[in-house]
Structure formats: structure tokens, C-alpha cells
């Protein structure tokens, strides 16, 4: 990679989108082999998570992520997609008169994304890195050469969670390292080529962090204003993860801070006891429902893992189709979970509800901002600060879940709120 300035526009997560590559260029001489499908498809933890995984299991290739496909695949790449990404840098935002899409709304959204984008692209020009989205964070100090003697892994886990919360995490869970959820290979958008993941299988644990997104901003989705909640979620995540990883390094252990890069967040979060898969393909937590962002740290620190938690999400989703009905492009399936994926941008070979990423992303580009309607309409999208919300969650996890569904329809206002009213709060 040369330091030559790339030509194009900056993507939502800060990387440059430029001319399409027809195929993966060959790996440079001496590069380590790409990691492809060398893992066992079943693990004992599946008994606790309920994951049903096909013997045809395949690692996910980050090249197929719909955001990466917009670089190399003409079925996803479009002028609208390029404009969508360009809009994260003023003055490319195509502000308009519609509620939630004014210059002020884009100004706030883009400011919320600014730190994350700036941080992600610090090493974009020279090294082609897109940290937090395609690559792990590397802006760390040197740490300590020897390992601090740690005692009981349960006590160490308790301390790590205390430190993670000090650095801003709303929830923290720990699971054992699981190579099934690490990408087969990652994607370099600058060079439009695949490359090996940064993390190797010497890691023993994953610390998974949850950051809650702002409730009132999310109520205005779809709007440019609402995407401020996403930008802030990433920005807060970056601070938490970088700080926690540095603490672990300062104790002499390995730590790789990661957001969307390197591996799949949701199965790790489920294994770390932070929630369950919903029909909309998102993690549903007991504390914030699906209104969250997920970060993770791969480490070799000895830690006691958490146990997967159930509170009845699967059974509730079986009778609730609010997200599938509310999705404007019908990207969320009705019916039963399946091992099939609608296209290569979704992870198949594990039984779950799977969103059509192509349809979803196309809607985002048509709106010129992100969409989270499926989060807004989800009955689990509550603050849980009131007794009623906590009672509702309990009820939704019992055989009386149909009553919980009726109560949600009668009593919770899941309609879109005006962005202008958010500004006047
Ligand atoms: S984000 Fe919007 S378009 Fe995508 S699945 Fe959810 S509701 Fe549908
Ligand atoms: S909206 Fe309903 S079906 Fe969709 S994830 Fe939430 S609870 Fe499940």
C-alpha cells in the first residue's frame, strides 16, 4: 500500500470507497495463510445457547458483509450507496425539508460519528486499516512485559467488569474464545482485497461490552437525527474498548479491541450471557432490549466465563411479528427460524431468523441514512426503569406472553416521534 491519496468518498465508517475491483488480488508474498473453515462446527456451549449448527458450517467471510460488497459487487454498489456514505461528511449531506433530515439533523449525526470515523481512519492511508470496522484497534501503548499474577478467574472477571463499567460499558459479559465466530478472512476496503484476521487462536476469552443507544433519538427513526444514537454508540464503544484493552495490556496480557471487525458480535454476546437473538437478527438484552451496540475484546487473560441467559425471547418472537411487519422493505422473515440465508451477506448454517442485508442496505441508501425501525417497534425496546416495564418483561417470558403482546400493542406508543419535537425537549 502506498501513501497515495485515494480517490472517492468516505464511507459511513470512514473508509474510502473507490473504483471497483473485479476480483481479490493475490495475497502478497510471505503473507500468512487466510483462515478458512478449519473449525469444529459443534461445541459444548451450544447445549446452553441452544445454537443449532449444520455440519455444513462455514466461517463468515467479511468480504461478503453488505457494506464491503458495496466496494466490489455491482449488485450492491450504486450511486445511491456512494451518496449515502458521502453524506457522513458535511457538506455532502443531502439535507432536505422532511422532518429529521435538515442540515441541523445531519450536523448532529455527523458530529456523533466524527470521533469514530477519525479514529477508524488514522491508519487508512498508509496501512489500509479501517479500525473498529474491518480491523482491530491498534492505537495502544506498549503495556507491561510480564504478566501481573492473577488469582481466582472469578475474581478477575469481577474486576474486569468493574473496570469496563468505569470506562463506560453499560453491560459486560465474558465467554470463552470461540473460533467459529471469527471471520474466515477480513476485508481491506482500501486495497479491495482480503487479508488474514489480526487475532489468532491463542486467545482464550472474549470480553463483550454493551453500550445502550439513546431511547428518545431512536424514537425518531427513520431520520438522520436518529442515526446520532448509532454514532454515539460507536464513539462510546471505541473509548470503552480502547481503555479496557490498554488496562489489560498494562497488566501484561494480550488484548485486541474490536467493534464490527474480526468476528460476529451477536453469537459471542449470547454466549457471554448478555441476551438472546431476536427475529430482527439483533441481540435482545434484558436491560435495554435491542437498543444497543456491541463491542468485544479478545484476550488471553484467565477469566471465568458467564452463562448464557434465557428470558423467553424465542417464544415471544414466535408470536410477535412487529419487526417483520414494520420493516418497510420486508427484509425480516415471518415464520420459523431457518439455516438458510437470503444471500451471501448473511450468516447461514446456524438456525436463526436472518435479515436480508441487501434489502436492508438498499433502504438505508434510499433514505440517505441508517434505519432502525425494527429496533423502535420491538416490544423489548423499553427503558425498564418503571415497574411496569419490568413486569412486562417477566410476563413476556411466561406462557402468558400473548397477554404481554396485547399489553404492548395497547399501552406502548411505538410510533415514530417527530425529530423537531426532540429538538424542543
Ligand atoms: S434496519 Fe430498517 S430496513 Fe433494515 S431490517 Fe430493520 S427495519 Fe428493515
Ligand atoms: S419485534 Fe417482536 S418479533 Fe421482532 S424481535 Fe422484537 S419481539 Fe421479536
What's the angle, vertex CA 158, arms to CA 153 and CA 387, rounded to 5? 140
- DSSP three-state, residue 247: helix
Q: Model-level pTM?
A: 0.93
Ligand 2 center to 220 CA (angstroms): 19
Residue 309 CA, chain-centre distance (Å), reads: 20
pLDDT higher than threshold 50 for residue 7? no
Residue 142: phi, psi to the nearest 5? -70, -20
Other C-beta atoms closer than 10 Å to the C-beta of 191 total: 15
The tens digit of pLDDT for each residue in 382-410 reads 999 999 999 999 999 999 999 999 999 99
DSSP state of 19: S
* Residue with the three cell numbers 491498534: 138
End-to-end CA distance of the chain: 49
Which of the listed residues 360, 370, 372 should we mutate to test ligand 1's pocket, taking the one with most ligand atoms within 8 A of CB?
A: 360
Query: Within 6 Å (CB) of ligand 1, which residues are found?
Result: 280, 327, 329, 331-332, 355, 360, 363, 371-374
Instruction: Give me the helix-helix angle, 227-250 and 103-120, nearest 10°.
Output: 20
pLDDT score of 386: 97
Atom 4, ligand 2: residue with shortest CA distance: 323
What is the average pLDDT across 281-300? 98
pLDDT score of 9: 47
pLDDT higher than threshold 60 for residue 21? no
Ligand 2 center to 189 CA (angstroms): 33
Ligand 1 center to 223 CA (angstroms): 13
CA–CA separation, 403 and 359 (whole Å)? 32
Any atom of ligand 2 within 6 Å of the Cβ of 333: no
Residues 39/45/49/53 CA torsion (nearest 10 deg)? 30
DSSP string, 36-56: -S-S-S--TTHHHH---B-TT
pLDDT score of 347: 86
DSSP string, 113-127: HHHHHHHHTTTHHHH
CA–CA separation, 199 and 207 (whole Å)? 14
What is the average pLDDT across 297-325? 98
How confident is residue 15, by pLDDT bands cut at 50, 70 and 90?
A: low
| Overall size of the chain counted in residues | 425
Any atom of ligand 2 within 6 Å of the Cβ of 278: yes
Q: Give the ligand with the smallest distance to the CA of 327.
A: 1
Radius of gyration of the chain measured on its C-alpha atoms: 21
Amino acid at each position: 500500500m502506498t501513501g497515495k491519496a485515494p480517490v472517492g468518498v468516505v464511507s459511513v465508517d470512514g473508509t474510502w470507497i473507490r473504483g471497483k475491483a473485479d476480483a481479490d488480488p493475490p495475497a502478497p508474498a510471505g503473507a500468512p495463510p487466510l483462515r478458512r473453515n478449519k473449525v469444529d462446527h459443534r461445541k459444548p456451549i451450544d447445549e446452553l445457547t441452544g445454537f443449532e449448527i449444520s455440519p455444513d458450517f462455514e466461517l463468515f467471510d467479511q468480504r461478503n458483509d453488505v457494506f464491503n460488497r458495496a466496494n466490489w459487487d455491482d449488485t450492491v454498489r450504486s450511486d445511491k450507496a456512494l451518496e449515502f456514505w458521502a453524506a457522513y461528511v458535511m457538506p455532502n449531506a443531502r439535507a432536505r425539508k422532511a422532518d429529521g433530515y435538515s442540515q441541523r439533523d445531519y450536523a448532529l449525526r455527523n458530529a456523533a460519528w466524527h470521533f469514530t470515523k477519525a479514529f477508524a481512519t488514522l491508519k487508512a492511508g498508509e496501512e489500509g486499516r479501517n479500525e473498529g470496522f474491518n480491523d482491530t484497534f491498534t492505537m495502544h501503548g506498549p503495556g507491561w512485559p510480564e504478566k501481573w499474577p492473577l488469582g481466582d478467574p472469578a475474581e478477575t472477571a469481577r474486576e474486569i467488569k468493574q473496570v469496563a463499567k468505569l470506562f463506560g460499558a453499560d453491560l459486560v459479559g465474558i465467554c470463552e474464545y470461540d473460533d467459529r465466530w471469527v471471520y474466515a478472512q477480513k476485508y481491506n476496503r482500501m486495497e479491495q482485497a482480503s487479508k488474514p484476521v489480526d487475532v489468532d487462536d491463542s486467545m482464550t476469552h472474549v470480553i463483550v461490552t454493551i453500550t445502550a443507544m439513546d431511547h428518545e433519538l431512536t424514537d425518531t427513526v427513520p431520520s438522520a437525527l436518529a442515526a446520532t444514537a448509532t454514532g454515539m454508540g460507536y464513539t462510546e464503544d471505541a473509548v470503552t474498548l480502547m481503555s479496557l484493552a490498554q488496562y489489560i495490556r498494562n497488566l501484561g496480557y494480550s488484548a485486541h479491541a474490536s467493534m464490527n471487525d474480526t468476528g460476529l458480535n451477536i453469537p459471542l454476546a449470547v454466549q457471554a450471557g448478555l441476551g438472546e437473538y431476536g427475529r430482527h437478527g439483533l441481540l435482545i438484552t434484558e436491560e435495554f432490549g435491542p437498543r444497543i451496540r456491541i463491542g468485544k475484546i479478545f484476550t488471553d487473560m484467565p477469566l471465568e466465563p458467564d452463562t448464557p441467559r434465557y428470558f423467553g425471547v424465542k417464544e415471544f418472537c414466535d408470536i410477535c411479528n412487529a419487526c417483520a411487519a414494520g420493516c418497510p422493505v420486508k427484509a425480516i422473515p415471518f415464520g420459523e427460524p431457518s439455516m438458510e440465508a437470503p444471500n451471501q451477506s448473511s450468516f447461514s448454517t446456524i438456525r436463526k431468523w436472518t435479515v436480508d442485508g441487501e434489502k436492508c442496505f438498499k433502504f438505508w441508501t434510499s433514505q440517505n441514512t441508517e434505519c432502525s425501525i425494527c429496533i423502535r417497534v420491538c416490544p423489548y425496546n423499553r427503558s425498564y426503569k418503571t415497574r411496569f416495564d419490568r413486569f412486562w418483561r417477566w410476563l413476556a417470558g411466561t406462557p402468558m406472553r400473548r397477554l404481554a403482546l396485547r399489553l404492548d400493542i395497547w399501552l406502548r406508543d411505538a410510533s415514530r416521534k417527530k425529530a423537531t419535537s426532540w429538538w424542543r425537549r
